[in-house]
Amino acid sequence: MSVSQRTTTSAREVAERVADPELPMLTLADLGVLRDVAEAADGSVTVALTPTYSGCPAMAEMRADVVRSLHEAGYADVRVTTVLDPPWTSDWISEDGRRKLAEYGVAPPGEAPRGPVPLTLGGVRRAVECPRCGSRDTEETSRFSSTACKALWRCRACSEPFEQVKEI
Partner 1 sequence: MREDDHVYLSLAEEQDDSRWAFGTGFEDPLHGVDTTVPDGVDPVELAALCLGLGDDALVASQRLAEWCTRAPELEEEVALANIGLDLLGQARMLLTRVGQVDGSGRSEDDLAYLRESEDYRNVRLVELPNGDFAFSMARLLVFSAQRLAVFERLAAGHPDPVLRAVAAKGVKELAYHRQYAAEWVVRLGDGTDESHRRMQEGLDTIAPYVDELFRAVPSGQDVREVRDEVGAVLAQVAAAATLAVPDFEVMAGSGRDGVHTPCLAPLLFEMQSVARALPGGSW
Where along the sequence are the contacts to partner 1 (CB under 8 A)?
A: 19, 21-22, 24-25, 48, 51, 53-57, 59-61, 63-65, 68, 79-89, 116-117, 119-122, 141-148, 152, 166, 168
Distances (CA, A) of 134 to 46, 88, 129, 168: 41, 28, 6, 23
Q: For partner 1, which is the closer residue by CB, 5 or 82?
A: 82
Side by side, the strands of the sheet bearing 150-155 are 106-107, 161-165, 150-155, 138-142
Q: For partner 1, which is the closer residue by CB, 64 or 76?
A: 64
Please, what is the minimum distance in Å from the beta carbon of residue 67 to partner 1? 8
Q: For partner 1, which is the closer residue by CB, 57 or 134?
A: 57
Please, what is the minimum distance in Å from the beta carbon of residue 68 to partner 1? 5
Q: For partner 1, which is the closer residue by CB, 3 or 55?
A: 55
Contact 163, 71 (CB under 8 A): no
CA–CA–CA angle 155, 157, 160 (5° rounding): 40
Please, what is the minimum distance in Å from the beta carbon of residue 54 to partner 1? 3
Side by side, the strands of the sheet bearing 78-82 are 34-39, 45-49, 78-82
Please, what is the minimum distance in Å from the beta carbon of residue 88 to partner 1? 8
